[in-house]
Structure 1
Amino acid sequence: MGLLLAATAQAGCAEDDAPCGIDGGAYHIRLPDDPAGAPVVIFLHGYGGRGAATIGNAQMVEPLLSRGYAVMAPEGLRRGGDGPQSWNFLQNGSGRDETAFLSGVAADAARRFGVDDSRVILSGFSAGGFMVNYLACAAPETFAAYAPVSGGFWRPHPANCAGPVRLFHTHGWTDTTVPLEGRMLGEGAWQQGDIFAGLEIWRQANGCIDEKPTGFATTGQFMRRRWSDCAPQSALEFALFPGGHVVPEGWADMMLDWFEEVAG
């Protein structure tokens, strides 16, 4: 049965919405007109979401494709085998090794389609955004940049992160699902972390000289602050918008403008 499912995932990969199967899971992909050497955005769905739905989100995907990026949407695994799909961002010694899986996703796409797996932005929404933060913290060298949306760390926050990163965090001012201050879940069994405390962790990881931002900007609805007096090859920016728990309109172009500026 497992071999049959793997074969089905391979057949027509990247055509007719068919997923591409690799060891440990599957991903969906859409390619720009010229995929050879194309940079990549890997976008991780939220809790209970699906890669298939993510790749069909035209508001987010089409702007990325139009700028020559391949877009990949991996599938999270089902909790307990048959529960909602999500990501193993806390690891806890069990479950899928998401760093290995997502590295494999990028390498597989490079082999099959010729995209550039050295220019990959790992992004994600909500639980996918939490996954982005934890992977960037533990293994910052895995991808070229990180762009979480509406997801940070859980409490207790990590004591520190492994090293400098390029990271662009986007969050809604009125988000009540992942509030800026965090919240309790499961009658206090779990606690989402404070987004601003997470930014402090990233300033430390990037070796920033001061807590104070070095620049402010407004892009459409987004209020942005940047820390640039930090380690070479690092970048840290935070964009706040007036909405709630969504991937906001205009995010894709703003994020790519940032990436192309900081990554060259």
Structure 2
Amino acid sequence: MIREMTLATGFALVGQMGFADCADQVGLCETPSGGYHIELPEDENPPLVVFLHGYGGSGTGTMNNRGMVEPLLARGYAVMAPEGLERPDRGGTKSWNFYPGFGERDETAFLTEAVQDAASRFGIDPERTVLGGFSAGAFMVYYLACAAPETFSAYVPVSGGFWRPHPEACDGPVRLLHTHGWTDNVVPLEGRLLGGGRFHQGDIFAGLEIWREANECVDTKPSGFSTTDQFMRRRWTTCADGSALEFALFPGGHNVPQGWSDMMVDWYEGLPGG
């Protein structure tokens, strides 16, 4: 009986502690337009990775992905996980307003508000903020970077891109590292039809062409390649000053792959001003 009580108490404490809080305060960091969770490293005035969850996910789920979060904290980055919009037409499922009819919130304004709030409350460095996201969160990253590339210092989408019809053009320059699984069958590299054909995920390589044009790259072929056990990477560097574009494939499906956090930080810190 004592052992059962001890185990129950331990599980309760783990549940209370959790990882999806407002730094050292229990619960959600609330802003006028929404809310977010955040975890801070030991360093003062840290850079920030804002990571958007996928369709049907949550900021809580993002923070509980310790394989992604803990390497970022160890490298001195704060990690923020905003909560997406609840969609009443989908039973309260959360997602992001990146496509007409997917919500009414101005997500660029909301995420800017969240970063400013974190800078005021926790002293994060608002000049060193990276926006990432997975799946639907990555869709949101693509569209925000396309329309307002100056909002964040870099963009790091995973397993998501544009939807058809693709944007005709994006503002630039942009600093973007796109990561995608070779066998992703939820967001295939070629895209897929959804909703009985009403929606069509876009082609990832067509999206990269849009980014090359936004970055004024002088050629379509990559400037360099690198291959490790985890990632096959191609980059375009003969482009506009202040831009960066890289594509990383991994031999897996629809997920944030192991090693992504360190790869992303290495890429970001290798950028001018990173």
TM-score normalised over the length of structure 1: 0.93
The answer to whether the 8 A contact 2:232-2:248 is kept is yes
Q: Structure 1: which 4+ aligned runs deviate by more than 3 Å? A: 91-94
Of the two, which has the highest radius of gyration?
2
Q: Which residue of 2 aligns with 1:243?
A: 252
Which residue of the other structure, out of 225, 230, 239, is the alignment partner of 1:221? 230
Instruction: Answer with 120-129 or 77-86: which moved more.
Output: 77-86
2:27 match: secondary structure: coil
The answer to whether the 8 A contact 1:17-1:52 is kept is no
Written as runs of structure 1 = structure 2, the 5 A alignment for 1:16-27 is: 17-27=26-36
1:262 match: secondary structure: coil
Q: Which residue of 1 aligns with 2:194?
A: 185
Distance 1:17 1:169, change over 3 A: farther
Q: Which residue of 1 aligns with 2:121?
A: 112
Which residue of the other structure, out of 46, 63, 72, is the alignment partner of 1:55? 63
Which residue of the other structure, out of 138, 143, 153, is the alignment partner of 1:129? 138
Shift of 1:262: 1.0
Written as runs of structure 1 = structure 2, the 5 A alignment for 1:83-232 is: 83-91=92-100, 95-232=104-241
Give the RMSD, CA atoms, in angstroms: 1.4
Shift of 1:13: 3.2
Unpaired segments ≥5 residues, structure 1: 1-11
TM-score normalised over the length of structure 2: 0.89
Q: 1:93, 1:57 → 2: CA distance?
A: 26
Distance 1:213 1:22, change over 3 A: same
Q: Which amino acid aligns with 1:77?
A: L
Q: Which amino acid aligns with 1:147?
A: V
Q: Which residue of 2 aligns with 1:252?
A: 261
The answer as to 2:53 corresponding to 1:38 is: no
Q: Which amino acid aligns with 2:49?
A: V
Q: 1:46, 1:32 → 2: CA distance?
A: 24
Q: 1:137, 1:213 → 2: CA distance?
A: 21
Q: Which amino acid aligns with 1:25?
A: G
Q: Which amino acid aligns with 1:33?
A: E
Instruction: Answer with 218-227 or 43-52: which moved more.
Output: 218-227
Q: 1:256, 1:142 → 2: CA distance?
A: 19
Distance 1:16 1:173, change over 3 A: same
